[in-house]
Amino acid sequence: MSFKNICDQERQKDILQRAIQTERMAHAYLFYGIEGIGKKTSARIFAKALNCREGGIDSCDECPSCVKIDRNTHPDVITIEPKGTFIKIEDIRNLHGQSQFRPFEGKKRVFIMVDADRMNNPSANALLKTLEEPNPSNILILVTSRPYLLPSTILSRCQKLRFNPIQKEKISRFLKEKAVVDRNMADVLASSSRGSIGKALRMMEETSLLFKNEVIEMIAAWDVDKNPLGFLTFADALGDGKKVVWERLDILKNWYRDMLVYKETGETISLIHQDIIPITKKYSDMLTGSDILRGITIIEQAARAIDQNANKQLTLESMMFKLLGMAVGTPQSCDMRVM
């Protein structure tokens, strides 16, 4: 793959290719944005272009350097990923040691740190030493979907490159061209992905559409008048693993987004969850626009709290209690007190 294969992200590609052309690369980059939009892929393509023996601003995909990078065997392109919960301090120390030397065979040694936000404090402090003593023949690329978890001392030493959500139409076209899905399924996946090709592929490959259907069924079963506690039992049904909870909270947030769109426009054509429009209308009519926006904030705060290892059950119950409070007319604070 080369820069021309990256979907969207034209500004980001232009910045990186111009840096190669002018030979004015930063010693450290931060590639950030939602998951599944090509940050890690772009980092590897940047590394390929930097080391390509053809010497242009894009990789040729054919020279020995490009082939080795594609096969993960190039000695000067090193990927660091979490092993377990965190990125190990030993890996950061190894990175620092390697960064003291010139590349073995390439033009630039490139370190790609995936999920860089998953460094603990000792690892982050060890990385800071490398950032404070940059070697001009080395480039560090931090990749994250949660830049707010990185220390400001690290953020301030990186050139930041924000990757944008991909247009729904482009995701749908990509799925139809690259995957065995029909037009309708591609459109559904693209709408549910919220701008992430990776998420669209995950939903296709990991039966996330089943998750969506389960969440939608639970939403459809809510009846505040007859069973207000149905909101609270929903917290128990959101799942155990972080990944499952994140997916389902995202579905819930998308539903609140649908309510807001309907509240403001009265139109249903752009709603994501076309299969529960009557339920969306009902709850949209029950809530004010401010309530719906507050609901989105509550869901986002819950997702972030769980991401930061808050007690999942208490966080979800608190979230649902606050959403229930708005549905039955009881004002609730948006603060997450159970983190």
Give the pLDDT confidence score for residue 338 in this predicted structure.
35
Nearest to 206 by CA among 230, 233, 241, 234: 241
Residue recorded with tokens 């995936």: 114
Residue 25 — pLDDT band, cuts 50, 70, 90?
A: very high
Weakest mean pLDDT among 77-81, 187-191, 204-208: 204-208
- Quote the percentage of the chain above a pLDDT of 70: 85
State pLDDT tens for residues 216-255.
Answer: 777 666 665 556 566 666 667 666 667 678 878 888 898 9
Give the pLDDT confidence score for residue 323 in this predicted structure.
83
Q: Which residue has the higher pLDDT, 279 or 329?
A: 279
Helix, strand, coil % (nearest 5) of the chain?
55, 10, 35
Give the pLDDT confidence score for residue 241 in this predicted structure.
67
Q: Which residue has the higher pLDDT, 60 or 207?
A: 60
Give the pLDDT confidence score for residue 259 in this predicted structure.
94
Weakest mean pLDDT among 123-137, 153-167, 195-209, 222-236: 222-236
Q: Is the pLDDT assigned to residue 206 strictly greater than 60? A: no
Domain ranges of the chain: 3-162, 207-327
Type of residue numbered 100: Q
Q: How far is CA 139 from CA 16, 190, 282, in A?
A: 12, 34, 53
Give the C-alpha separation, 219 to 323, whole Å: 12
> Cα-Cα-Cα-Cα dihedral of 12, 16, 18, 21, to 10°?
-160
**Domain 3-162, what fold?**
Rossmann fold (3.40.50)
Tokens of 242: 């972080």
Give the pLDDT confidence score for residue 333 in this predicted structure.
40
Q: Taking the model in full, what pTM does it have?
A: 0.63
State pLDDT tens for residues 2-23.
Answer: 888 888 888 999 999 999 999 9
Nearest to 252 by CA among 282, 289, 297, 285: 297
Nearest to 34 by CA among 150, 152, 161, 163: 163
Class of domain 207-327: mainly alpha
Average pLDDT value over all residues in the chain: 85
